[in-house]
Protein backbone atom coordinates (compact mmCIF):
# COMPACT_ATOMS: atom_id res chain seq x y z
CA UNK A 1 0.00 0.00 0.00
CA UNK A 2 2.82 2.44 0.81
CA UNK A 3 4.37 1.80 -2.60
CA UNK A 4 1.05 2.75 -4.19
CA UNK A 5 0.85 5.98 -2.19
CA UNK A 6 4.45 6.86 -3.00
CA UNK A 7 3.84 6.13 -6.70
CA UNK A 8 0.81 8.44 -6.57
CA UNK A 9 2.95 11.12 -4.95
CA UNK A 10 5.53 10.79 -7.70
CA UNK A 11 2.84 11.02 -10.39
CA UNK A 12 1.39 14.15 -8.76
CA UNK A 13 4.84 15.72 -8.20
CA UNK A 14 4.36 15.57 -4.42
CA UNK A 15 7.30 14.96 -2.07
CA UNK A 16 6.33 11.59 -0.56
CA UNK A 17 8.13 12.23 2.73
CA UNK A 18 6.42 15.61 3.24
CA UNK A 19 3.09 13.99 2.42
CA UNK A 20 3.67 11.03 4.77
CA UNK A 21 4.80 13.26 7.63
CA UNK A 22 1.73 15.47 7.29
CA UNK A 23 -0.63 12.51 7.03
CA UNK A 24 0.79 10.72 10.06
CA UNK A 25 0.66 13.88 12.18
CA UNK A 26 -2.94 14.70 11.26
CA UNK A 27 -4.79 11.52 10.39
CA UNK A 28 -5.84 10.78 13.98
CA UNK A 29 -7.80 14.00 14.29
CA UNK A 30 -9.38 13.96 10.83
CA UNK A 31 -13.09 13.06 10.69
CA UNK A 32 -13.77 9.94 8.61
CA UNK A 33 -15.83 11.94 6.11
CA UNK A 34 -12.76 14.09 5.32
CA UNK A 35 -10.22 11.28 5.00
CA UNK A 36 -9.98 11.68 1.22
CA UNK A 37 -8.15 14.99 1.74
CA UNK A 38 -5.06 12.91 2.53
CA UNK A 39 -4.90 11.29 -0.91
CA UNK A 40 -1.82 12.69 -2.65
CA UNK A 41 -3.71 14.53 -5.40
CA UNK A 42 -6.06 16.19 -2.89
CA UNK A 43 -3.23 16.91 -0.43
CA UNK A 44 -1.30 18.72 -3.16
CA UNK A 45 -4.28 20.99 -3.90
CA UNK A 46 -4.67 21.81 -0.20
CA UNK A 47 -0.96 22.50 0.28
CA UNK A 48 -0.09 24.51 -2.82
pLDDT confidence of residue 4: 92
pLDDT confidence of residue 11: 95
pLDDT confidence of residue 16: 95
pLDDT confidence of residue 2: 86
pTM of the model: 0.82
Structure letter (DSSP) for residue 30: S
Rg of the chain, C-alpha, whole Å: 10
Cα–Cα distance measured from residue 45 to residue 37, given in angstroms and rounded to the nearest whole number: 9
Per-residue pLDDT tens over the stretch 1-48: 889 999 999 999 999 999 999 999 998 999 999 999 999 999 999 887
Cα–Cα distance measured from residue 40 to residue 22, given in angstroms and rounded to the nearest whole number: 11
Which alpha helices (DSSP H) does 1-48 contain, by range?
2-11, 16-26, 40-46
- Residue 38 · residue 23 · CB < 8 Å: yes
Amino acid sequence: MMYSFFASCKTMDVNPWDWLKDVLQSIGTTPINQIDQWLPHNWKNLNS
